[in-house]
Amino acid sequence: MRILLTGGAGFIGRHVHAQLLADGHEVRVLDSLRPDVHQTKPAVDNLIVADIRDGEAVDRALVGVDAVVHLAAKVGLGVDLDDMDDYVSSNSLGTAVLLRRLGRRKVRRLVYASSMVVYGEGHYECDRHGEVAPGPRRIEDLDAGQFEPPCPICGEPLRPGLVTEDAPTDPRNTYAASKLNGEHLAAAWAREAGGRVAAMRFHNVYGPGMPRNTPYAGVAAIFRSALARGEAPTVFEDGLQRRDFVHVSDVAAAVSTAAVADHPQFAAYNVGSGTVRTIGDLAGELSRAYGGLDPVITGDYRLGDVRHITASSDRLRAHLGWKPGYDLTTGIADLLRH
């Protein structure tokens, strides 16, 4: 197929590009090379440098295309509220500009990069009240070092569980809200244009080429940079917050599989390794593998963070036959090699 890959010069995009080529597709890349992400111009074949909000450039890029993989976005949690309009403009408006042109060019297939953060705190169980959805964590609790969200009914501790794609969404920060909005827009496009969209809800992606030293770097890159400076990784909260770290090559394989899959008109897929780890575990494993200082647990917190993000990626395995090739130990070794 001929595929337009937006955001193809970014961290995940470059791996997706390589995977799509390896799977026999012809790939055209559209990327704005945002200066806050790209300090130098990367070497990317078949690259059109244009912003996703530039409708005319998008329209031209779509000529002859069979499918679009839409990764172009402003990522990360954000620095502060001043980022809000940029997130909405880059992510929500950017997706709308693309979808409108897809309709015009009669492109019917879209793979959309979404995120696990659309679930907010996700699924928890209370011994007395069963499944509950805790609200946002209170500043007073966080300041007091109470990081676990309590049962919204009785205030007792909860057990986090794995959310499936059918769980209610509950975005807790601007980025999450903009990513979910993109899903909704894509679903509307699919219905009206007779298109097909796979919304890939990525867990925490890591691997070679991760952005470092930018406000939008993920925690594995931040820890790695600290170790390279001879410093200890600094772990927020109590280090027991849970995430699923998925290697970028596995993500690229999932995206390429979804681009040709026979799935429903709107299909959401959680994309994770299937193994939940704590941030403290990640810091410890990275320090040991690097031979660096032991992590320091600071007790600091970021207000937009959710406590645990743990979802099941079984649907992706069952429907698309995808399975991850990396566990965290082999993935960390790969990250440190590059």
Q: Which is nearer to ligand UD1, 265 or 298 (CB)?
A: 298
Residues with Cβ within 8 Å of residue 57, at least 6 apart in sequence:
30, 48, 50, 51
Q: Which is nearer to ligand UD1, 137 or 243 (CB)?
A: 243
- Strands 26-31 and 296-297: what pairing? unpaired
159, β-bridge pairs: 125
In terms of Cβ atoms closer than 10 Å to its own Cβ (0-12, 13-18, 19+), residue 160 is buried
* Encoded amino acid at 62, one letter: L
Task: Please report how close the Cβ of residue 202 comes to ligand UD1 at its closest, in angstroms.
Answer: 6
Q: Which two tokens stand for residue 330?
A: 């082999």
In the sheet that holds 124-126, the strands lie side by side as: 130-132, 124-126, 159-160
Q: Which two tokens stand for residue 331?
A: 């993935």
Q: Which is nearer to ligand UD1, 105 or 137 (CB)?
A: 137
Q: Which is nearer to ligand UD1, 108 or 242 (CB)?
A: 242
- Strands 159-160 and 124-126: what pairing? antiparallel
Task: Please report how close the Cβ of residue 222 comes to ligand UD1 at its closest, in angstroms.
Answer: 4
How far is 160 from 163, CA to CA, in rounded Å? 9
Task: Please report how close the Cβ of residue 236 comes to ligand UD1 at its closest, in angstroms.
Answer: 4
Task: Please report how close the Cβ of residue 176 comes to ligand UD1 at its closest, in angstroms.
Answer: 7
Q: Which is nearer to ligand UD1, 43 or 81 (CB)?
A: 81
Q: Which is nearer to ligand UD1, 105 or 203 (CB)?
A: 203
Q: Which is nearer to ligand UD1, 95 or 241 (CB)?
A: 241
Task: Please report how close the Cβ of residue 224 comes to ligand UD1 at its closest, in angstroms.
Answer: 11
Place of tokens 């193994």: 275
Q: Which is nearer to ligand UD1, 71 or 219 (CB)?
A: 219
Task: Please report how close the Cβ of residue 219 comes to ligand UD1 at its closest, in angstroms.
Answer: 3
Burial annotation 232-249 (CB, 10 A radius, 16+ → b, else e): bbebbbbbebebbbbbbb
Residues with Cβ within 8 Å of residue 91, at least 6 apart in sequence:
73, 74, 175, 178, 179, 181, 182
Q: Which two tokens stand for residue 154?
A: 């009785």
Q: Footprint of ligand UD1 on this chain (CB under 6 A)?
A: 75-77, 115-117, 202-204, 216-219, 222, 234-236, 241, 243, 279, 302, 305, 309
Task: Please report how close the Cβ of residue 50 comes to ligand UD1 at its closest, in angstroms.
Answer: 23
Closest Cα to residue 128, out of 156, 161, 167, 163? 156
228, β-bridge pairs: none
Opening angle at CA 166, ends 132 and 175, nearest 5: 85
Task: Please report how close the Cβ of residue 237 comes to ligand UD1 at its closest, in angstroms.
Answer: 6
